[in-house]
Structure 1
Amino acid sequence: MSVALRHIRAFVLLAEELHFNRAAERLHISQPALSRTLRELEESVGTKLINRTTRSAELTEAGRAFLLEAQLGVGHLEHAVNLARYTAQGIYGELRIAYMDFAINGRLPELIRAFREAHPSIRLDLSFMPTTRQRTALMEHRIDMGFLIGSFENDRIHNYTFDYDSYVALLPASHPLANVASLRLSDLANEPFVLGNSDYWAAHRERLFVLCHESGFFPRILQEASSSEGIFGLVAAGTGVSVYSSCVRNLQRRGLVIKPLDDITRRIPICAAWDESSASPGLQTFTEFLCTHWDRTHDGPRN
């Protein structure tokens, strides 16, 4: 006969009470049923665990040893049951969230902090990933949600516009245009550009090239970098100018001047994207927080 959970529970309660009547009452069974359950357990274990008397019960040495592990086992099993229930309800869980530079330098940290305070039992595994790679990762279920540039047009993917950023020019502090009252994108036509490379910045470059074409030029790219810090450093060093997201205002960088581009009204949409068809309860909790609580308390995407 195999040992079942009912055998372990009955033994632990009997060991706590050391009295058959009281233990049977707590288990909501009869005393004969409790005696039968204990007998079945002892037969399965192969040794006596409790010595019975007419008035009470006493653990054997083997019973005391068995009790320590039995209590741990019951505790672990109850925890596992609760964990499964809470995970199904979206209370516990783990989410894999990818982000790109504009998101993490913008409002995403504020969202993450607010969600963790509201749902501390859901672990967020955050990883940097360029927009184009996020799209692939979403389709291959390697991430649960991505924060990327623009929406991901796919029948399986749900998009939510989390934020909007404006385009700004980044200039070295010593640049002649750093002190002008008004700056247009076309004013940068003859300037050497510092841009993120195509491996990590393809989505931003595609949008920027369209804007430059509409302004009558194609940027002369002198230097490329893989990270925002690389772009900032190269511009501050006087290598060239760049066009970035207005989220750069949240950062501090010496030697860098940020100028709005007065002729560019188009904005950069920062979207949250996820596969709704395979959303876990934890992801549903996150998306509900994002689309209801976050919007309600933060007035939606920033203008």
Structure 2
Amino acid sequence: MRYDLRHIRSFLVLAEELHFSRAANRLNMTQPGMSRLIGELEREVGVPLLRRTTRSVDLTDAGRAFQIHCRSGLDHLERAVTIARRTATGLTGTLRIGYMDFAINGRLPELLRAFSRYRPEIRLELSFVPTLKQQEALLADRIDVGFMIGAFESEAMVSYPFDSDRHVALLPVTHPLSNVRALRLADLAGEPFVLGTGENWGAYRRDLFNLCHRHGFHPNIVQEASSSEGIFGLVAAGVGVSVYASCVRNLQRRGIVIRPLDDVPDPIPTCAVWSTPIQSPSVKVFTEFLERVWGGAG
């Protein structure tokens, strides 16, 4: 089609005025110029849009239908321009966030609530993604920001310390050690362990195995679960013990006793990670909020 917005806007003004001279004046153009544009538009559409006499101008039935849809289309186009401008400045848009269990059980929900109040027009798309898969997703541009265990050692990524947990022991309420107020990691050396699967908990298992080796043992894993709820359920059922992050205290789970591990000072860090340089205005707004507003408050 060989018509453009000039033709559409001219037609819509003329449809309101039903007078070539007044419509031309509104658009700061000559009456012949207006007539030329309307003639070109009618030839392209292929049907008369106006009935003209020496005394009046009126819309044909086709012209009235064309007016309705042109107005709707122009409104959508103007809305698209507004959205594009707001997206370019970070006032609206979509932010794809990946998270793992410790993040969502810790401070992440609070951060997301605060950010949604700060920028309600930025839509948050949240996905559970284990730490190692978050790293892959960031490199492949499938997520914008990841909340993962530890830093992502890559020159293409920024890792911002977001949260930190202590290691705690999870015991069935019937376990003999459940009455001990604080434990050492070595106290669990001979216990059957329940851990997350290697697929979903690979980064945490690696760090936990290193920690156990430093304390002189390798955990005897008798059962695995893909989720935190699965781990809690197996521990509550008496299948074994586990070592988890202290954010577990934010959850309510029957049948489990949580005990600190006094000889394990090593933290479990959660980092927010994003690629650099930042290309998305929404990511820029979010990371600035995280570093300046939330970071200062936290």
TM bracket (short chain) = over 0.9
Cα offset, 1:268, TM superposition: 0.8
Matched residue of 1:277: which SS? coil
- CA positional deviation for 1:165: 1.0
- The one-letter amino acid paired with 1:124 is L
Aligned residue in 2 for 1:175:
175
User: What does residue 258 of structure 1 align with?
Assistant: 258
Change (3 A) 1:25 1:166: farther
1:208 aligns with 2:217: no
**SS state at 2:15 partner:** helix
| Matched residue, 1:131 | 131
Q: Is the 8 A contact 1:184 1:262 kept in 2?
A: yes
1:215-294 aligned within 5 A: 215-277=215-277, 279-294=279-294
Q: Return the offset for 1:6.
A: 0.8
Moved more, 72-81 or 147-156: 72-81
- Which letter does structure 1 place at the counterpart of 2:160? Y
- Deviation (angstroms), 1:173: 0.9
Q: CA contact under 8 A between 1:10 and 1:34: conserved in structure 2?
A: yes
Q: Secondary structure at the residue paired with 2:68?
A: helix
Q: What is aligned with 1:11?
A: 11
Kept after mapping to 2: 8 A contact 1:137/1:143: yes
Match of 1:230, as an amino acid? Answer: G
Report what 1:26 is aligned to: 26
In structure 1, give the amino acid aligned to 2:215.
Answer: S
2:181 and 2:69 map into 1 onto residues whose CA distance is 76
The separation in 2 between residues aligned to 1:2 and 1:181, in whole angstroms, is: 81
Tell me, what secondary structure is at the counterpart of 2:258? strand
- Give deviations 1:51-108, integer Å, cap 9, x for gaps: 3466753212221121111112211221222222222222232222111111111111
**CA deviation string 1:161-220 (max 9, x = no partner):** 111111111111111211213222122122221111211111111111222122222222
Cα distance in 2 between the residues matched to 1:55 and 1:122: 53
TM-score for the superposition, normalised by structure 2: 0.93
* 1:155 equivalent in alignment to 2:155: yes
Indicate the residue corresponding to 1:47 in structure 2. Answer: 47
After TM superposition, list the pairs within 5 Å mapping 1:109-120 onto structure 2: 109-120=109-120
Alignment of 1:48-87 (within 5 A): 48-52=48-52, 57-87=57-87
With 91-100 and 250-259 compared, the bigger mean Cα shift is at 91-100
Amino acid at match of 1:32: P
Contact 1:99–1:128 under 8 Å retained in 2: yes
CA-atom RMSD, angstroms?
A: 1.9
- In 1, the alpha carbon distance for the partners of 2:106 and 2:67 equals 55
Q: Distance in 2 between matches of 1:55 and 1:161?
A: 75
Distance 1:278 1:290 in 2: 14
Deviations 1:124-153 (A, max 9, x none): 221111111111111122222211100000
Amino acid across the alignment from 1:234? L
- Relative distance call for 1:55 and 1:178 in structure 2 (3 A) is farther
Normalised TM-score (structure 1): 0.92
Shift of 1:48: 2.8
Equivalent residues of 1:138, 1:145 under 8 A apart: yes
Any stretches of 5+ residues in structure 1 without a counterpart?
A: none
Q: Which residue of 1 aligns with 2:140?
A: 140
CA distance in 1 between counterparts of 2:79 and 2:89 reads 15
